[in-house]
Structure 1
Amino acid sequence: MGVTGVDELRERARRELEAERIRRRAENPTLETGNGIDHAPQGNSPPAPAVKTRKDSSPIKSLDTIINLPKLLSSSPPLTQAQLGALWTAYHARKEGVLCAVVPLEMYSQLIETARRYSQFVVPLPRGVKSVEDGKEPEGGTEMFFIEWALHHCPTVPNPKVDELGLPSSQSTEQTASAGSNPPIMTLLFTPLQEYKHRQSFAAPHLALTFHTDLASTHGVALLRGEITPAQSGNGRWLLGQEEAQALVVAMQKFYLPGTGEAAKDREELLKCFHERPEEFKWERLLELSDIGIKL
């Protein structure tokens, strides 16, 4: 896909977003517009891609449907950040089609900040790479994935203690209030670019990440859970392998959590270019900065 492909993709996303806003206003006139994490700029300049809710995305599973929050919070002494991370990792260790991670709050705040500015991007996934002799370029290709960030509600800070009737004690309520508020939950969808271009909002994401922030104010972390979409054929198959899903997450991190150094600056600039100067966006540069060993 050439440079014009980026323009077409972004224009389709803009039209789709506007149509979705009109549809939602018609369905519920009292619903506030601009539900994404970015607001359209004023003036004649075209709006930047805004984070939106896709009609095909699954409802967010609350954290207390995944783990027993009351039991976890009632432990004595209270769980440390490291212990919470170990429990989260152990819980997902033997589950198929699922990824997990523990994201420090400072890192999560950086993700939110970057997603507000750049809610969409593309990342490459190596496909069918063959090993070759030393000194030769690896054989194989890449599949581009379109990624979309969405911002959701801020979960309430859970009460660490309840009485025998299941109601929070006054002391527990005070402790919860002093803990402050939680940051919003974020989700991230990975959809094959070609499928998204052809089906747009009806394209099925292959991987969906949810950053649960219920324990952010109490433990200083966001709990990441990624779910790979099962194949329609069933038989315990998935649209992505475990390693492929992990590779997509790593590719995203290289641009949304670039770190420091010259390569980090180049990745930040390419992400900015995708949104602000799409006519200058180069796919060859994307592959180089993704560091996957394959060139166009």
Structure 2
Amino acid sequence: MAAARTPVLRHLVRSGSTPRIASFQRRWAQVHDVRFLATTQPSRSVLEKYRDKLDRKAREEGLPDIDTLKKAYSDKIDSLRKEFDTVVPVIPPTPPPSPQQQQQQPRQQPPPPPPKSRPTAEGVQPLSSILHLPKARLLPAAELTAAWIALHTALPRSLSAVIPAATYAGMDAAARACPQFLVPVPHAGQGAELHFLQWTWDAATRSSTVLFTQLAEYKARGEYAAPHTTVTHYADLAGEEGGLVLMRGAVAEDRGVKVEDARWLVMCLQRFYGGWDGEAGKDGMGRERAEERRRLLEEFARGDQRFSVERLLEEAERMG
């Protein structure tokens, strides 16, 4: 995913302890010949140490004593001895070149960095490949909603929703101003897990796509982190009378995220990116909560130092 341009996110990504690398080698470390260290240690005679076992082995083979056993196995013993006595030369480290040598040698250009995998709407399936749009435009809103939900109910790891065009217009405006955000997923007895979301748009399919990634994954892999949930909004039918925006999504099976957690993330997406408009006519408490969600979203987008994960978690608890 694209690296976040928000200072607050950069602060969160870099916060916490940095894992230490257990096995760190200096480039010019001294090399020891471990064969010398092994062969100069004092030890008891191998023959005395294993005399009882050798006697038993000789009797099992029907031989009178250990000397006869050694003669019987002399060829095998010689073969193993040659194998273990083979000396592998220790190559000393090459010292760094002197400044004069560096000037004489042509400077090699470093290889180009690998291409970054940035979030993109490429490959988004158009709505016309999912629905017969001329027929869909003739359906009443209730029937179209029921048909869309039923289409995705049979898919075990799918998500779907139908959003009024006016509500989505508010979400889209907020998303273009604040295309990245954090959303917590509470886990009973284990606190909450933070997830990073990012919006992308594709004019060709009249769609917007939201990518969800675990923040721990994003911290570990940066722009190469793979999303666990992808949600696409189709605005093809938004211009119709009583227009609707159709949403469909999928939860990856191997990313450690349950479908229930993904549904929570989508609910938070709708609340933070437009829920305050829907609650404007409610009581004072509802308007206050909607205003707080709007402030959190805008503070995060601006990199405002007043944004805090603690306030985000408190708001998520109230929504739960």
Give the TM-score normalised by structure 2: 0.58
CA displacement 1:121-142 (0-9 Å, x = unmatched)? 0000123x1xxxxxxxxx2221
Q: In structure 2, what is the equivalent of residue 217 of structure 1?
A: 239
Contact 2:210 2:230 (C-alpha < 8 Å) held by counterparts: yes
Q: In structure 2, what is the equivalent of residue 181 of structure 1?
A: none
In the superposition, relative to structure 1, how do residues 293 and 263 fare at CA in structure 2: closer, same or farther (>3 Å)?
Answer: closer
- The one-letter code sitting in structure 1 at the alignment partner of 2:262 is A
1:147 matches 2:197: yes
Q: In structure 1, what is the equivalent of residue 131 of structure 2?
A: 67
Q: How does 1:87-98 map to 2 (within 5 A)?
A: 87-98=147-158
Contact 2:194 2:214 (C-alpha < 8 Å) held by counterparts: yes
Contact 1:254 1:290 (C-alpha < 8 Å) held by counterparts: no
Distance, in Å, in 2 between the alignment partners of 1:109 and 1:5 is 27
In the superposition, relative to structure 1, how do residues 149 and 200 fare at CA in structure 2: closer, same or farther (>3 Å)?
Answer: same
1:272 shift after superposition: 1.3
- The one-letter code sitting in structure 1 at the alignment partner of 2:299 is C
Structure 1: gaps spanning 5 or more residues: 12-22, 25-51, 130-138, 156-183, 232-237
CA displacement 1:171-190 (0-9 Å, x = unmatched)? xxxxxxxxxxxxx4111011
Give 1:7's match in structure 2, choosing from 1, 5, 10: 10
1:103 matches 2:163: yes
CA displacement 1:54-87 (0-9 Å, x = unmatched)? 16x76211112223335545xxxx2111111111
Contact 1:270 1:281 (C-alpha < 8 Å) held by counterparts: yes
Distance, in Å, in 1 between the alignment partners of 2:319 and 2:151 is 34
Give 1:248's match in structure 2, choosing from 251, 262, 265: 265
Distance, in Å, in 2 between the alignment partners of 1:267 and 1:255 is 6
Q: In structure 2, what is the equivalent of residue 54 of structure 1?
A: 119
Corresponding residue SS for 1:217: coil
- The one-letter code sitting in structure 2 at the alignment partner of 1:225 is R
CA displacement 1:162-201 (0-9 Å, x = unmatched)? xxxxxxxxxxxxxxxxxxxxxx411101100111122122
Give 2:141's match in structure 1, choosing from 52, 63, 81: 81
- The one-letter code sitting in structure 1 at the alignment partner of 2:220 is H
Q: How does 1:115-194 map to 2 (within 5 A)?
A: 115-127=175-187, 129=188, 139-153=189-203, 155=205, 184-194=206-216
Contact 2:8 2:300 (C-alpha < 8 Å) held by counterparts: no
1:119 shift after superposition: 0.6
1:228 matches 2:251: yes
- The one-letter code sitting in structure 2 at the alignment partner of 1:6 is L
What is the identity percentage for the equivalent residue pairs of Structure 1 and Structure 2?
34
1:257 matches 2:274: yes
1:149 shift after superposition: 0.7
User: When the two structures are aligned, how many residues end up with a matched partner?
Assistant: 204
Contact 1:125 1:247 (C-alpha < 8 Å) held by counterparts: yes
1:290 matches 2:316: yes
Q: In structure 2, what is the equivalent of residue 206 of structure 1?
A: 228
Distance, in Å, in 2 between the alignment partners of 1:242 and 1:285 is 25
1:221 shift after superposition: 0.7
Q: Root-mean-square deviation (CA), in Å?
A: 2.7
Contact 1:100 1:224 (C-alpha < 8 Å) held by counterparts: yes
Q: In structure 2, what is the equivalent of residue 273 of structure 1?
A: 299
| Larger-gyration structure (1/2) | 2
Contact 2:122 2:202 (C-alpha < 8 Å) held by counterparts: no
In the superposition, relative to structure 1, how do residues 10 and 146 fare at CA in structure 2: closer, same or farther (>3 Å)?
Answer: same
In the superposition, relative to structure 1, how do residues 240 and 65 fare at CA in structure 2: closer, same or farther (>3 Å)?
Answer: farther
Instruction: Write 1 or 2 for the structure with the bigger share of helix.
Output: 2
**Greater shift in the superposed pair: 191-200 or 101-110:** 191-200
Structure 2: gaps spanning 5 or more residues: 1-6, 15-114, 281-286
Contact 2:185 2:264 (C-alpha < 8 Å) held by counterparts: yes
Distance, in Å, in 2 between the alignment partners of 1:239 and 1:64 is 32
1:53 shift after superposition: 5.1
